Amino acid sequence: MNCRELTLTLWVLIFVSTTESSCTSRPHITAVEGEPFYLKYCSSSHAHAIEANTGRWQKSSGSQKRVELNPSSSPRLCLQDHALEFWPVELNDMGSYFFQMGNHTQEWNLNVIRRNKHSCFTEKQVTSKAVRVKKFLQITCENSYYQKLVNSTSLYKNCKKLLENKENPMIKKNAEFEDQGYYSCVHFLHHDGKLFNITKTFNITVLGDSGYIVPVLLGSKLNHVAVELGKDVSLNCSALLNQKDILYWMYDNGSDLNVHEEKEIRIMTSEGRWHASKALRIENVAEHNLNFAYNCTVTSTGGTDTKSFILVRKAMADIPGHIFTRGMIIAVLALVAVVCLVTVCVIYRVDLVLFYRHLMRRDETLTGNTRNSGISYLTLSVRNQINRHKS
Ligand SMILES: *[C@@H]1O[C@H](CO)[C@@H](O)[C@H](O)[C@H]1NC(C)=O
Ligand SMILES: *[C@@H]1O[C@H](CO)[C@@H](O)[C@H](O)[C@H]1NC(C)=O
Ligand SMILES: *[C@@H]1O[C@H](CO)[C@@H](O)[C@H](O)[C@H]1NC(C)=O
Ligand SMILES: *[C@@H]1O[C@H](CO)[C@@H](O)[C@H](O)[C@H]1NC(C)=O
Ligand SMILES: *[C@@H]1O[C@H](CO)[C@@H](O)[C@H](O)[C@H]1NC(C)=O
Ligand SMILES: *[C@@H]1O[C@H](CO)[C@@H](O)[C@H](O)[C@H]1NC(C)=O
Ligand SMILES: *[C@@H]1O[C@H](CO)[C@@H](O)[C@H](O)[C@H]1NC(C)=O
């Protein structure tokens, strides 16, 4: 490669990077009213070789004929070499634009939409981007055409300012679900002593991990559940699975009329995986529900996983709750009865003694009346003692 060829190659490269990158190649374009806007001719290398630099700009709106545009057409229009600038673009700029150079013509259809006055961006003018969670997310605020005129740029997320006054604000990170939202790059620029802004908004959607996982049921594979006959029991089966995997219960539903499947609950975890749980409710547990495997299975294209629940009769070794309380109540009642009895005995102890003596006397009357006076004396002394004690 000689020197001339190298220079030519470099010239082409520079030309491509500076001119072609910001030319307007799409034939249908939408702009937002009030923003600086431009149309730029995408010159073919052939046209450039002709070196015919003088191009013509024309406009037609509706059924009108093409009208030649010149610098005096509108104070907002600025005719540059190969570019037509609007400072700013307004609703009445809608129409078809033509650029003619030699026998080459490029045509654009320009649609101008209203600015959303209640938001920092216009919904119809967003660029949607989807990124998978944990994958690289980059948002760069750039505007190659107005680069030299941009005074400052701010980056907003859902209309809240994130970064300000940076030359080219950008975000570089691994995507998380919280990153989802509308990111608006607002470039501020001066022209003819007026401040303008250009807004570019990205609608970022964070998608769940596409990575397939082998589904697993949580917990041990075999579960013995102790139950009492006549009670209700709920068997909970949960799994970590892919969105399309199926979680189901297997049991003989013909004879198990007291067995009901609950609705499945599915939630997306913070890592973008799915967590599902489905409970099996057995009402009024009967003998035929015992020692039978209630199986829960998760199936996927990549395999299945099963876990079994077996109901067993609750061992009687440990006292069931209600029997314990009943026993406690009986014990307390017995204690209260004893205390009452003792109290009654203390209060009526004299009468009891008398009653006892009475019984004894009757015994003695049967055997003989010898110690009668002695007993009467004893009774008197007990009474005196009590009276003394009371006072
Ligand atoms: C951008 O300019 C428009 C007027 O063209 C104005 O309504 C809007 O508030 C400006 N945005 C910001 C962020 O200054
Ligand atoms: C363009 O016009 C020139 C004459 O002005 C002609 O020689 C050339 O063939 C034309 N090119 C095409 C692609 O029509
Ligand atoms: C942003 O992207 C989401 C998800 O793709 C979509 O549902 C929503 O309609 C988009 N918003 C706009 C304003 O285009
Ligand atoms: C940006 O604008 C401010 C005033 O609005 C001015 O002081 C500053 O020099 C400008 N910066 C550039 C780089 O044009
Ligand atoms: C089942 O267990 C999972 C956790 O393992 C829980 O998130 C879910 O709420 C439980 N469901 C029922 C019905 O108990
Ligand atoms: C048993 O399950 C099958 C399939 O799920 C269902 O079609 C049938 O009606 C069920 N039978 C009873 C008695 O619940
Ligand atoms: C439940 O699973 C066990 C072990 O995987 C199996 O032996 C049994 O046949 C299964 N029962 C039903 C009703 O599918």
- pLDDT, one tens digit per residue, over 217-233 is 999 999 999 999 999 99
Q: Residue 10: pLDDT above 60?
A: no
Residues 277 and 378: their CA atoms lie apart, in Å, by 85
Topology adopted by domain 3-113: Immunoglobulin-like (2.60.40)
Bridge partners of 13? none
Residue 103 beta carbon below 6 angstroms from any ligand 2 atom: yes
Of 113, 197, 112, whose CA–CA distance to 155 is shortest? 197
The pLDDT value given to residue 272: 66
Residues in the ligand 7 pocket, defined by CB under 6 Å? 250, 293, 295, 306, 308
Per-position DSSP letters for 262-300, written without gaps between them: PPPEEEE-TTS-EEEEEEEEE-S--GGGBT-EEEEEEEE
DSSP 230: T
Least confident window among 79-83, 139-143, 316-320, 366-370: 366-370
Q: Which ligand lies nearest to the CA atom of residue 151 in the structure?
A: 4
Check if the beta carbon of residue 218 is closer than 8 Å to that of residue 240.
Answer: yes
**Residue 58 CA from chain centroid, whole number:** 53
Q: Which of 308, 309, 311 to mutate to test the pocket of ligand 7 (most atoms within 8 A of CB)?
A: 308
| CB contact burial 120-150 (16+ within 10 A = b; e otherwise) | bbbeebbeeeebbbeeebebebbbebbeeeb
Give the H or E element holding residue 81.
none
Burial class (CB in 10 A: 0-12, 13-18, 19+), 331: exposed
Phi, psi at 300, each rounded to 5°: -150, 165
Sign of the alpha-carbon dihedral angle for 49, 50, 55, 56: negative
The pLDDT value given to residue 280: 95
- Closest CA to ligand 3's atom 1: 203
Parse the chain into domains and list their residue ranges. Answer: 3-113, 123-207, 216-313
Note whether 3-113 and 216-313 share their fold.
yes
Taking the centre of ligand 3 as the mean of its atom positions, its distance from the CA of residue 188, in whole angstroms, is 26
Taking the centre of ligand 5 as the mean of its atom positions, its distance from the CA of residue 292, in whole angstroms, is 22
Residue 49 beta carbon below 6 angstroms from any ligand 2 atom: no
Atom of ligand 3 nearest to the CA of 124: 13
- Closest CA to ligand 5's atom 7: 277
Options 3.40.640.10, 2.60.40.10, 1.10.3720.10, 2.60.40.1220; CATH for 216-313 is: 2.60.40.10
DSSP 92: G
- Residue 364 pLDDT level (bands cut at 50, 70, 90): low
Number of H helices, E strands in the chain: 5, 24
- CATH superfamily of domain region 123-207: Immunoglobulins (2.60.40.10)
Is the whole model's pTM more than 0.75, yes or no? no
Q: Which of 224, 252, 295, 310 to mutate to test the pocket of ligand 7 (most atoms within 8 A of CB)?
A: 295
Tens digit of each residue's pLDDT (9 = 90 or more) over 283-296: 999 998 899 899 99
The pLDDT value given to residue 45: 59
Phi, psi at 308, each rounded to 5°: -115, 145
Of the CA atoms within 13 Å of residue 272, those in its CB half-sphere come to: 18
Q: Residue 8: pLDDT above 50?
A: no
- Closest CA to ligand 3's atom 8: 203
Least confident window among 4-8, 188-192, 257-261, 379-383: 4-8
Of 255, 254, 278, whose CA–CA distance to 266 is shortest? 278
- Residue 271 pLDDT level (bands cut at 50, 70, 90): low
Residues 171 and 136: their CA atoms lie apart, in Å, by 10
Tens digit of each residue's pLDDT (9 = 90 or more) over 195-220: 999 999 999 998 876 677 889 999 99
